[in-house]
Amino acid sequence: DAGITQSPRYKITETGRQVTLMCHQTWSHSYMFWYRQDLGHGLRLIYYSAAADITDKGEVPDGYVVSRSKTENFPLTLESATRSQTSVYFCASMAGVADTQYFGPGTRLTVL
Amino acid sequence: AQSVTQPDIHITVSEGASLELRCNYSYGATPYLFWYVQSPGQGLQLLLKYFSGDTLVQGIKGFEAEFKRSQSSFNLRKPSVHWSDAAEYFCAVGAGANNLFFGTGTRLTVIP
């Protein structure tokens, strides 16, 4: 199906474990983004990518790692999950710098 | 520093009534401005955006927003609210869509 998808949609993990959240888009958009959404904070940018193999930090990058070996995929890894990383994570993509961001449905992550 | 303020955490309106959601921002230059809507369990959907030109912007679902430079505001309006408009609304500002700052959101409840 065309669009932007995220997997898994729900994930429960334990402190210290590594977790990878997947994001896939079918539009060949250049830009991709990872946000986290927390009550009282709105959405905050974790990392973004302007093209394959080009990534940059956002507002809250600590504890997260990203890669972008292919244009259509932008996985987000929590190398050692902490309770403070319990959140809803949204992936987004965008064709160009002045275009619209399209958001995925989100992944709800709980770290116990 | 850049910031976005949505002063109303929660607004309740009757179906058919008019709506105005407030957004104020602090930014070094004239930013790009966006309004997004998020239905429960969903990602964000763009309602409208302002880059330049006419300060009154029309969006989808009958929404409009007006950019007022002197007040650093970008308020969202709808003349007649429908029950399906119940959702969370986010204002966002930035130098481009790859550098967005989101407000904390306003939750809209629509009563019959």
For the stretch A60-88, pLDDT in tens is 999 999 999 999 999 999 999 999 999 99
Write the DSSP symbol of residue B63: -
In this complex, which of A99, A100, A103 lies closest to B43 when CB atoms are compared?
A103
Interface check for B102 against chain A (CB to CB < 8 A): the answer is yes
Spans of chain A, pLDDT less than 70: 1-2
Å between B104 CA and nearest CA of chain A: 4
Q: List chain A residues with CB under 8 Å of B49.
A: 100
Q: What is the mean pLDDT of residues B36-60?
A: 92
Cβ neighbors of A17 (< 8 A, separation 6 or more) are A80, A81
Which residues touch B39 (CB under 8 Å, ≥6 apart)? Answer: B45, B87, B88
Q: Which residue spans within chain B are E strands per DSSP?
A: 3-5, 10-14, 19-21, 24-26, 32-38, 44-50, 56-58, 64-68, 73-78, 87-94, 100-102, 106-111
- Best of B4, B36, B98 to disrupt the A interface by mutation (most A CBs within 10 Å)? B98
CB contact under 8 A, B100 and A101: yes
Q: Is B42 part of the contact surface with chain A (CB cutoff 8 Å)?
A: yes
pLDDT at B97: 58
pLDDT, mean of residues B37-55: 90
Closest Cβ–Cβ partner in B46, B49, B90 for A43 = B90
